[in-house]
Amino acid sequence: MDPFLDVIRLLRPQATLWSRVEATGRWGLSFQQHDDLLFCLVESGSCELIRPGQASLPLQAADFVLVRTSTPFRLATDAGVEDTDSEAVIPGAGAVVTLGSGSGPRTVLRGGRFVFDTANEQLLTGLLPQAVHVQATSSASERVRALLAMNESESAMSAPGGEFVITRLMELVLVEILRNPAFQPDQVPTGLLAGLGDPAMAQALVAMHGDVARRWTTAKLARLCGMSRSAFAARFARIVGPGPVQYLQQWRIALAKDELRHGLRSVGEIALAVGFQSGSAFSTAFTRAVGCSPRQFAESSRMLSPQ
């Protein structure tokens, strides 16, 4: 089992608002805080990614950037230019936006927004820093651009199986970005990627994901990694965030949420599949973690999303 791919599958990424920005001379485009994930490919020209309290990030032709909008940000020629609000000029998918004066350097951007299954959207926290920059010179850049081009082409075709193909393509885009050699796990101080970057912690994570229903204990996982119980527990918590048993519980709840929203099994069957010894034990743990019972979660999720 690959814990990284497990998380990507639960997130069920899709791409929306695929738009084109054609900018000339001096220009700026601002993006408000929405706690989502935007992406931008610089087809030609150059600009800067400007975020509060951060050094500006120069973007060149064929660069790709993924930005979490937990804070507002700007794409602009320079910090001093007046911005245009993106929400005022980008009406939706397929939009072409023209910015700037009629003379000067020309920049073309292609961008959009990743949408994730809301049941487990919080899993992003341990995967992504505020911005991921895939430079044109990176080995991942060409593959990311090819995958996005295939996604755009597939979206325009409306062919049988298109939704399945598009979903897989966007999963691959995220995989390419996050395994990019330029993106180091230490950009995210703690979390799954940081854990997978540590050989011993990776061994424990793979074991838990590979047999989630097993009665794992901190002592069993420590022996598996060839460490003492106390040293393993401290190292796991320092690198991954939660302790090993807490992480396992969180992953079980994440799997259960996905199954309740998209699957066909009963609550009792789900409880056993994810490692709880009874439906009542599962219901108690789920309610404590999520704030409602498994049945209430399933009912509300299916009303909100027909997936």
Confidence of residue 89 (pLDDT cuts 50, 70, 90): confident
* Range of lowest pLDDT (193-202, 218-227, 288-297): 193-202
Label residue 255 exposed, middle or buried (CB < 10 Å: 0-12, 13-18, 19+): buried
Q: What is the dihedral sign for C-alpha 282, 283, 285, 291?
A: positive
Q: Write out pLDDT tens, residues 144-193.
A: 888 888 887 887 787 888 888 887 887 788 788 777 655 554 455 678 88
Q: What is the per-residue pLDDT for 87?
A: 86
Q: What is the pLDDT of residue 124?
A: 78
Distance CA 296, CA 11 (A): 21
Residue 83's pLDDT is: 93
CA distance 46 to 76: 9
- DSSP sequence for 203-269: HHHHHHHHTTTS---HHHHHHHTTS-HHHHHHHHHHHHSS-HHHHHHHHHHHHHHHHHHH----HHH
Q: Which of 117, 148, 144, 116 is nearest to 132 (CA)?
A: 144
DSSP, collapsed to helix, strand or coil, labels residue 92 as coil
Contacts 24+ apart (CB under 8 A), 188-192: 188/126, 188/127, 188/128, 188/129, 190/126, 190/238, 190/239, 190/240, 190/241, 191/125, 191/126, 191/127, 191/240, 191/241, 192/3, 192/4, 192/7, 192/123, 192/126, 192/127, 192/240
pLDDT digits (tens, 9 = 90+) for 242-284: 999 999 999 999 999 999 998 889 999 999 999 999 999 999 9
Higher pLDDT, 124 or 206: 206
For the chain, list the domains and their CATH numbers: 3-183 (2.60.120.280), 192-304 (1.10.10.60)
CA–CA dist 101, 34 (Å, integer): 29
Dihedral-angle region of residue 53 (phi above 0 means left; psi in -120 to 50 means alpha; beta otherwise): left
pLDDT score, position 48: 96
Rounded mean pLDDT of the chain? 87
What local confidence, expressed as pLDDT, does residue 306 receive?
45
In the predicted model, what is the mean pLDDT of residues 222-243? 96
pLDDT at site 186 = 47
Does 297 score more than 90 pLDDT? yes
Question: How is residue 130 annotated by DSSP?
Answer: S
Ranges 80-84, 109-113, 183-187, 299-303: which has the least confidence = 183-187
Given pLDDT bands bounded at 50, 70 and 90, which one contains residue 307?
Answer: very low
Task: Calculate ∠ Cα 289-117-135, nearest 5°.
Answer: 115
Separation CA 59–CA 66 (nearest Å): 12
Mean pLDDT of the region 222-242: 96
Least-confidence region, from 175-189, 204-218, 230-244: 175-189
DSSP-assigned states of every residue in 42-85: EEESEEEEE-TTS--EEEETT-EEEEETTS-EEEESSTTSPPEE
Q: What was the pLDDT predicted at 282?
A: 97
Contact (Cβ atoms closer than 8 angstroms) between residue 15 and residue 113:
yes
- Of all residues in the chain, the percent with pLDDT exceeding 90 is 49
Q: What's the pLDDT band for 208 if we cut at 50, 70, 90?
A: very high
Nearest C-alpha neighbor of 27 from the set 92, 95, 91, 104:
104
Q: Span 105-118, mean pLDDT?
A: 87
Average pLDDT over residues 216-239: 97
* pLDDT tens, residue by residue, 33-54: 887 888 899 999 999 999 999 8
